[in-house]
Amino acid sequence: MPGKDMTSKQRSKLKSIAANLDPVTQIGKGGITDNLLKTLSEALEAREIIKVNVLPNAEADADTMAQNAADLLGAEVVAVIGRKAIFYRRSSRENFEHIQL
């Protein structure tokens, strides 16, 4: 899994894949709950790349919320564009068509 050393080329590829995705959920004033982390983790395991909306009433700005969630998920923040965050984490599933970076 790429760490903080994800290249701009890899980041760009992931951003282009994410461009067509709908957000799987949103982070609001409830913050990052166990239930939210479970939802995000399951979505990452199924798809490797997900998009999440960070609502204006979230307890911190989108960048901070995204980084906090990514740290808890063991995922990478690909980008935060406005109030949308894109996360990547390689799936541990076998016989899965992984995103080629």
Domains, in order of start, for the chain: 8-88 (3.30.110.60)
Q: Please check whether residue 34 is in contact with residue 41, taking contact to mean a CB–CB distance below 8 angstroms.
A: no
Per-residue pLDDT, 94: 84
Rounded to 10°, the helix 62-73/34-47 angle is 70
Q: Please check whether residue 4 is in contact with residue 19, taking contact to mean a CB–CB distance below 8 angstroms.
A: no
Per-residue pLDDT, 4: 58
If the chain, 101 residues long, is cut into consecutive pieces of 10 residues, what is the mean pLDDT of each piece? 71 94 95 96 96 95 96 97 96 87 82
